[in-house]
Amino acid sequence: MSAPVYLDHAATTPVDPRVIAAMLAVMGPDSGHGNPAAVQHASGQRAGAAVEAARGQVARLIGAEPREIVFTSGATEANNLAIKGAGAFYQARGRHLVTALTEHPAVLEPAAALEAQGWSVTRLRPAADGRIHADQLAAALRPDTALVSLMHVNNETGLIQDIAALGTVCRARDVRFHVDAAQSAGRLPIDVRALAVDYLSLSAHKCYGPQGIGALYVRDRPRAGLAAQMHGGGQERGRRAGTLAVHQIVGMGAAAAILIGEREAEQARLAALMTRLETGLADIPDLLWIGADAPRVAGIRNVAIGGVARESLLASLWDTVAVATGSACSAADGEPSAVLQALGLDPVTAQGALRLSPGRWTSERDIDRVAAALRGVITRLRHIAAGEPVDDLPGPTGLPPAYSAAVTDWFRRLSRVGHLAPAPNVLQGAAGEPRQGAWVYWDLAVAGRRIVQARFRAWGCPATLAAAAWCAERVEGQDCAAAAALTGAEMAAALGLHGAQRSAALIVEDALNNALAKRTRHALSAQDATCPS
């Protein structure tokens, strides 16, 4: 079995081997690279020269001057430095910040931190096409607005903001403008002058460089103000203290240099791959490709898959495809994407969304494997929800380690998915709903005191489906009273459910009890349904 296809480049990209080679050259006892601040010896000077060469490469990628690049630990730090640093510098003008609901947490959280200090924060809601429009931004600016922070390319949807138009609005009102370009630097041409931005955040590990290094572009002429957030040895012209991470910086420079030469061809190749994937899935009903008609980059697509629970979708893909991960098995933890909801998707649709993000080494063969896997998993999960038996549809070979061996086993088999035709001796009962993260529907055929057949339909995480399958086998042939006495705790123990997975067992149990509670009414109306209370 080959390794899963890596389709999560929006989360992080593998480091390009050429980048690794450049980094290794400045590491180790024979590399002759010291602390770049130690200008009194050759090793320090050599390191300083390597840093400055890399600074030039990063600057060139975005049309900036080398002195306008401040190295940070990543885009999170760059965003914090820009928002808190510009905030502190310009707060005398007013303490109002404008950002958007669809920003990355690395912008939303520093914004919230300013808010906690008494700032007023406006969070714009994009139009249905994902765009923040220039007039919408203009209307949000106030005399006391100190800073606007909007991202270039969204990390969940790949949608592109018209930064040049938004920058023009800010400049006309003399408001500083910060752009989180973590997802765009590897994908779109960037020219900070043409975009009219004052600060721009970059991250190396989103474009085939190492993790733990990024940069903030800070416009020099006219100078954009910035209060340092890290104080120490005065590195980076006092804007970010701390010994420069020479190997990381060299890696980021090498990654930028590769992009300058190869980005355009790479994006064309990724666009063709995404088209291949979409074409491969075109006949599957109820797929909603987010932002289908809006400007977006090729390497990030989000697709909302109707009728499947994301937990089971992701878990089923575990051995085949690495895609944007969901969270633990519960409605409370598995919050649907706030970004997708801000675009107008209802929480249930947003919950079934998957981010597909191919990259530099993704092949056509990989894409075909992903399409086949998605098709199989979607079909199987939709069958389970519709009560169509899945005995002929192969289950996944493995599940994530969060699920016990017992859950994995039951989830793979899932016998007794199905319906029973309505009849006087058939008891039906349901519990849960998509908003609760799961639902289960039982059909129980009873004869006398016994349950002679148990069939279920279900939608939810693997623990829900496994618990229903376990329960179906357990109660078939059993006395009604014994079935009613079955507890969620017993189910949880038998299946090794833990944490939030236990709520799955409770929904299965509730549904079963709802079915069994109907036995009296059925017994009164039909002679052959005599499961007494």
Ligand X SMILES: *Cc1c(COP(=O)(O)O)cnc(C)c1O
Instruction: Kindly list the residues in this chain that would bind ligand X in the complex (CB under 6 A).
Output: 74-76, 104, 106, 151, 155, 180, 182-183, 203, 205-206, 214
Report which secondary-structure segment, H or E, holds 365: helix 364-386
Burial class (CB in 10 A: 0-12, 13-18, 19+), 165: middle
HSE, CB side, 13 Å, CA atoms: give it for residue 427.
34
> CA-CA distance, 366 to 312, in Å (whole number)?
21
Whichever of 55 and 205 has its CB closer to ligand X, that residue is 205
What DSSP designation does 298 have?
Answer: T
Active site amino acids: 329
Residue 150: strand, helix, or coil: strand
Residue 3: strand, helix, or coil: coil
Closest approach of Cβ 202 to ligand X, in Å?
8
SS3 labels along 126-140: CCCCCCCCHHHHHHH
Which single residue brings its beta carbon nearest to ligand X?
Answer: 74
Number of residues in the chain = 533
Whichever of 75 and 305 has its CB closer to ligand X, that residue is 75
Whichever of 297 and 444 has its CB closer to ligand X, that residue is 297
Q: Which residues does 65 contact at the CB level (< 8 Å), separation at least 6?
A: 59, 220
Whichever of 301 and 380 has its CB closer to ligand X, that residue is 301
> Which two tokens mark 142?
């106030």
What are the beta bridge partners of residue 516?
A: none
Burial class (CB in 10 A: 0-12, 13-18, 19+), 348: middle
Q: Which residues does 258 contact at the CB level (< 8 Å), separation at least 6?
A: 16, 18, 19, 208
> CA-CA distance, 343 to 304, in Å (whole number)?
12
> Which two tokens mark 452?
């002679």
Closest approach of Cβ 183 to ligand X, in Å?
5
* Cβ atoms of residues 351 and 310 within 8 Å: yes
Give the strand pairing for 199-203 and 214-218. antiparallel
Closest approach of Cβ 311 to ligand X, in Å?
23
> Which two tokens mark 87?
């905030």
Closest approach of Cβ 150 to ligand X, in Å?
11
Closest approach of Cβ 103 to ligand X, in Å?
8
Whichever of 255 and 483 has its CB closer to ligand X, that residue is 255
The single residue listed with the structure tokens 């899935």 is 281
Closest approach of Cβ 77 to ligand X, in Å?
7
> CA-CA distance, 460 to 465, in Å (whole number)?
7
Whichever of 33 and 239 has its CB closer to ligand X, that residue is 239
Closest approach of Cβ 128 to ligand X, in Å?
21
Whichever of 74 and 429 has its CB closer to ligand X, that residue is 74
